[in-house]
A and B are shown apart, each in its own frame.
Chain A
């Protein structure tokens, strides 16, 4: 089945230790998104890739970076995680401005 896959589902890192979250898709969608969802809050868009073009939201901290080496994969890099970065990170894809399909999320714990 075509889908959006996120690995790992649960990630534990230490304060200040860089961490990378992974997202892959078999839908061949040209747009990939990363959202941050803190406990009991709404998902918040961090950035998206439209094809190879990176689009950052204005209030996304510099601590968050992303890479998209090919159509299928997109990575979220957190350079120096702080306690406030503990959250669920959701990846989504869409074909242009069509419906977004979400992955199951990666829950990040920062110790």
Chain B
């Protein structure tokens, strides 16, 4: 089955860039996603990348995809204290007409003022 892995913790200083990494095993993934979860809240979609792309930029967020190595990263420029949260990468299995997501373990980002 699908296996998605992330490092558990990341601490950065306010104003620095954050880079959160993810590896996955399912080479048939069509889309790869980054979600943000704040304490006690649901999941908020931040951005996604189609599997035939290498990079996608959206304001402070940059997603890099290395399909050969099955490695995905999320860079947050000028990290703010409001960015403190858990970040999940996810892949969709693309098997059904729905969009079943398989999540990584999540990376807890702590931004130090």
Q: Which residues of A contact B (CB under 8 A)?
A: 4, 6, 31, 33, 40-45, 48, 50, 55, 57, 90, 92, 94, 96-105, 107
Contacts and interface: CB of A to CB of B under 8 A. Distances in A.
Contacts, number: 64
Give the top 3 A-B pairs by smallest Cβ distance, nearest first: A42-B103, A102-B42, A97-B99
Contacts of A50: 96-98
Interface in B78-105: 88, 92, 94, 96-105
Interface of B: 4, 40-45, 48, 88, 92, 94, 96-106
Contact of B42 (A40, A96, A97, A104): A104
Contacts of A99: 45, 48, 99
A33 B97 contact: no
Contacts of A40: 106
Nearest to B43: A102
A94 B99 contact: yes
Given A33-B98, A33-B101, A102-B44, 17 more contacts: A6-B42, A31-B98, A41-B105, A42-B4, A42-B88, A42-B105, A48-B98, A50-B96, A50-B97, A55-B96, A55-B98, A90-B42, A90-B43, A94-B99, A96-B98, A97-B98, A102-B42
